[in-house]
Amino acid sequence: MPLDVRAIPGAWLAYPRLAYRRSASARVAGHPGVKTLIKAEGLCVDFPIYHGGGRSLKKAVFAAASGRLGEDQQHRVVVQALRDISFTLRPGDRLGLVGGNGAGKTTLLRTLAGIYEPIIGKLQVDGVIGSLLDVNAGMNPELSGRENIMLRGLYNQMSRAQIAAMVDDVSDFAELGEFMELPVRLYSSGMGIRLAFGMATAIRPQILLMDEWFLAGDAAFLDKARARMESLVKAAEILVLSSHIESIVLEWATRVIWLDSGRIRADGVPQEVLHSYLGTGPVEVVAVEPS
């Protein structure tokens, strides 16, 4: 039975609410009976901004005392991060998101990942999600490499045996050797990136949400990471990739959505959308292409 968390008032045990449906069985990795699907209907996300004084209790109290709280609510600085986003992705779809900085690419990925709640709209996600959004997601610099990998395994609700395999796999990839037992803050930046990347790519999700960082990096690292990335992407049934880089989008995506100020400006075949995007977009976008 699909569980709609909205039906439970104050369901505090639940995940962030999403107008979000996913079948219970979809959480088992690689479950054969589940047809992966992402279906977004009219998603809107607002992003409240709390700059400096926005967090001040004093201001909120004085505003309430002088009867301006209502007005303050109206005047709260809100970025309309996403507006009326609708699309459906089925197995085999590889979606690329393009758009300038602040167009809403990362916000859309976070919303699909179930982190941000949409204020309007409906999102249905069936399948095991793996999100590569934040490089250091949940990584604690004080913990050793081994502890960080184990913790990541627990986050992904892996079994003991799966976690042991993941520890070996990641430490091989990251070439940590005896550094495995030392706190991550002592690692060189190269080791840190390899560890982060190794952990992030150790999962095998059905739906892969990926921010552009994971395809950036220096050339030597990219060569090593490439095979790993490719197998991860190929194993995923649905890929959503956000990137500035034309060549990467052309290589991986079979469909491209161009986001502009939180709205879908164009949606279609990569070549066509990229052509019109690059035709109007800032020139620098082309220049970010990696070696």
Partner 1 sequence: MWKLIATLSWLDIKLRYRGSILGPFWVTMSTGVMVAALGLVYSTLFDQDMHDYLPYLSLSLVFWTAMSLVVTDACTTFTQAEGMIRSMRMPFSVHIWRVMTRNFLLLLHNLIIVVLVFAIYDTWPGWNALWAIPGLLVWLVDGVAACMLLGAICARFRDIPQIVGSIMQIAFYATPIVWKVDQIREGARFMPLNPVYVILEIVRGPLYGTPPSGVVWTSALVFSVALVIVAWLMFARVRGRLAFWV
* Residue 115, both tokens: 């982190």
Strand 120-126 and strand 255-260: pairing? Answer: unpaired
Q: Does 157 bind partner 1 (CB under 8 A)?
A: yes
Q: Does 41 bind partner 1 (CB under 8 A)?
A: no
- How many residues of this chain bind partner 1 (CB under 8 A)? 41
Q: Which is nearer to partner 1, 138 or 282 (CB)?
A: 138
Contacts 24+ apart (CB under 8 A), 283-290: 285/100, 285/244, 285/246, 286/246, 288/244, 288/245, 289/245, 289/246, 289/247, 290/216, 290/217, 290/219, 290/222, 290/245
Distance from C-alpha of 240 to C-alpha of 258, rounded to nearest angstrom: 13
Q: Residue 211, SS3? A: coil
Q: Which is nearer to partner 1, 33 or 52 (CB)?
A: 52
Q: Does 17 bind partner 1 (CB under 8 A)?
A: yes
Q: Which is nearer to partner 1, 3 or 278 (CB)?
A: 3
Least distance to partner 1 from the beta carbon of 266, Å?
Answer: 28
- Phi, psi for 284 (deg, rounded to 5): -55, -25
Nearest to 271 by CA among 249, 286, 242, 243: 249
Least distance to partner 1 from the beta carbon of 277, Å?
Answer: 28
Instruction: Considering only the stretches 65-73, 138-146, 216-224, 233-241, report the one whose residues sit in contact with partner 1 under the rule CB under 8 A.
Output: 138-146
Beta strand segments in the chain, E: 20-21, 37-48, 78-89, 94-98, 120-126, 129-132, 207-210, 238-242, 255-260, 263-268
Residue 193 CA to its chain's centroid (Å)? 18
- Phi, psi for 91 (deg, rounded to 5): -50, 135
Among 3, 29, 60, 235, binds partner 1 (CB under 8 A): 60
Q: Which is nearer to partner 1, 29 or 115 (CB)?
A: 115
Least distance to partner 1 from the beta carbon of 101, Å?
Answer: 18
Work out the burial of residue 227: count CB atoms within 10 Å of its CB; fewer than 13 is exposed, 13-18 middle, 19 or more buried. Answer: exposed
Instruction: Considering only the stretches 11-19, 164-172, 267-275, 278-286, report the one whose residues sit in contact with partner 1 under the rule CB under 8 A.
Output: 11-19
Q: Does 29 bind partner 1 (CB under 8 A)?
A: no
Least distance to partner 1 from the beta carbon of 11, Å?
Answer: 8
DSSP string, 95-150: EEEE-STTSSHHHHHHHHTTSSPPSEEEEEEES-EEEE--TTTT--TTSBHHHHHH
Instruction: Considering only the stretches 29-37, 148-156, 188-196, 234-242, report the one whose residues sit in contact with partner 1 under the rule CB under 8 A.
Output: 148-156
Q: Residue 270, SS3? A: helix
Among 28, 64, 154, 286, binds partner 1 (CB under 8 A): 154
Q: Which is nearer to partner 1, 23 or 136 (CB)?
A: 136
Least distance to partner 1 from the beta carbon of 128, Å?
Answer: 11
Residues 105-134 that bind partner 1 (CB under 8 A): 110, 113-117, 119, 129, 131, 133-134
Q: Does 155 bind partner 1 (CB under 8 A)?
A: yes
Q: Which is nearer to partner 1, 62 or 155 (CB)?
A: 155
Which residues sit at the interface with partner 1, rule CB under 8 A? 9-17, 47-48, 50, 55-58, 60, 110, 113-117, 119, 129, 131, 133-134, 136-140, 142-143, 147, 150-151, 154-155, 157
